[in-house]
Chain A
Amino acid sequence: MPKRGTPPEVNAGSMADIAFLLLIFFLVTTTIETDAGLDRMLPPIEPPDVDVIIKQKNIFQVNINRDGQLLADDELTNIKDLRAKAIAFLDNGGAPSGSADYCSYCKGTRDASSSDSPAKAIISLKNDRETKYGTYITVQNELVGAYNELRNREAQRLYKRNFTDMEAEFLNPETPDNVRDELKEKVKNIQELFPQKLSEAETSTTN
C-alpha cells in the first residue's frame, strides 16, 4: 500500500488564468454608466389657447451669446453671480402685503420693480445656436441650483430637512410606500411654494 491519509492536493494553478480571462472579458464588454443628470421638461408644441399676459417685471431674462457671455436682466453678468441674482429675483416678493400675491415666506428685498411672488416669477432662458453645450449646462445648473437653494430653505424651515434629500428619497424606487406617501405631500408643498418656471425661448438663429 502506498501512503494514505491526506488526499492529494488539486492543482489550482490555472484557476487564476481562468479568472483573468473572465475579468478581461468583462472589462472590454461593459461600461460604467453615468446615470445622473439635470431633469427638464420641454414645453408642449401646441401653443396655449389663451395668451397669458405676463408683466415684464416678473420675467428674469437670461441670454447666452455665442462666446458664452451672459446677459441677465439686461446686465452683462458673470456666470458665477447668476445664482445669487436668480435667487434675489425669485425671492423678491414685491407684491404689497394684503394683495393676493403677497408672499409671506419671502426674504427678499421686496423691490416693487422686481418679481411679485415666486409663483409669478418666470426665468426665461435664451441661447444662440453657436453657444457651447457646456456653457448652457452650467447656466441651467445655476438656475436649477437657485430654485433648489430656496426650496431647501423652506424645507428646512417647515420640515427640518433639505428638499433635495426629500425629493431624492421620494424618487428612489426602494423607498417603502408608506414613507413615500408621507413625503409626496411635503415635496408637493415645497414645490408649490417655489414652482419651477423656467422657460426656454426658441433659439435665435441670428447672431
Chain B
Amino acid sequence: MSKFNKKKDSALPAVNTASLPDIVFMLLFFFMTVTVMKDSTLKVENVLPNATEVKKLEKKDRIIYIYVGKPTKEYEKVFGSESKIQLNDKFSDASEVGDYILMERAKKPQELQNVLTTALKVDKDANMGIISDIKQELRKVNALKVNYTTYEGDAFRNLQ
C-alpha cells in the first residue's frame, strides 16, 4: 500500500528555468548585432518605397541623412499634414538644406568631405515638389551624390 502513496503529498516540482537567461541573452545579442543606435527621433512618417535595383550603402560615416514625410500625429496640429523636411531633430524648410549639408560636411574628416552621399529617406506619399527643392539645394552646395533610400521589394507596389 504505502509503496504507491508515497508521492502524493509532495508538491509539484519547480520548473527548471536555468536556460531562460541563455535564451534571453541570445535575443539580446541578436538585437545588439543587427540594430544601430537611433541618432535622431523620427518626427515624420517614413514609409519608404520599394525598389529592386538597389545598391547597398556602405560606410556609414560617409552618409548624411535627410528625412521627408508627413509630420506624425503628435506634430500634426502644429505643423499641419503637408510633407515636411526633417534635418537632425527639427522640421526645416527646403532653403535650410544647403546650410545643413555644409555644416555636416564640415564635421567630417577632411579626406571624406568629397565622397559624401546624401541619403534621402522620403515617405512614398510625399510630393515630388519638395524633393525637387531639396535636389536644387543639393546642387547649389555641390552635394551631387544622392541615394534614394528604399526597401528591397517589388517596385510596382508603390503605385497602389
Contact = CB atoms under 8 A, between A and B. Distances in A.
Interface size, B (range): 35 or more
A22 B28 contact: yes
A165 to B, nearest CB: 12
Interface in A61-80: 68, 79-80
Interface stretch (A35-43, A49-57, A91-99): A35-43
A206 interface: no
A68 B159 contact: yes
Contacts of B127: 129-133
A189 B36 CA distance: 37
A203 B128 contact: yes
Contacts of B25: 19
Interface string B53-78: 11111111000000010000000000
B21 A141 contact: no
B28 A79 contact: no
A173 B149 contact: no
B156 interface: yes
Contacts of B68: 133
A145 B156 CA distance: 13
Contact of A203 (B122, B129, B147): B129
Given A23-B28, A79-B159, A141-B51, A36 B129 contact: no
B48 A34 contact: yes
Interface string A15-28: 11011101100110
B110 interface: no
B148 interface: yes
B139 A35 contact: no
A44 B142 contact: yes
Contact of B131 (A45, A136, A167): A136
Interface in B99-142: 117, 119, 121-129, 131-132, 135, 138-140, 142
A162 interface: no
Given A15-B21, A34-B149, A42-B145, 11 more contacts: A27-B31, A34-B48, A37-B147, A38-B53, A38-B54, A38-B147, A130-B127, A133-B123, A133-B124, A137-B124, A141-B155
Interface of A: 12-13, 15-16, 18-20, 22-23, 26-27, 29-45, 68, 79-80, 127-138, 140-142, 144-145, 148, 164, 167-168, 171-173, 200, 202-203
20 contacts: A16-B17, A20-B24, A27-B31, A30-B31, A33-B36, A34-B149, A38-B55, A39-B55, A39-B117, A39-B146, A40-B148, A41-B145, A42-B135, A130-B129, A133-B131, A138-B156, A138-B158, A140-B51, A141-B51, A171-B55
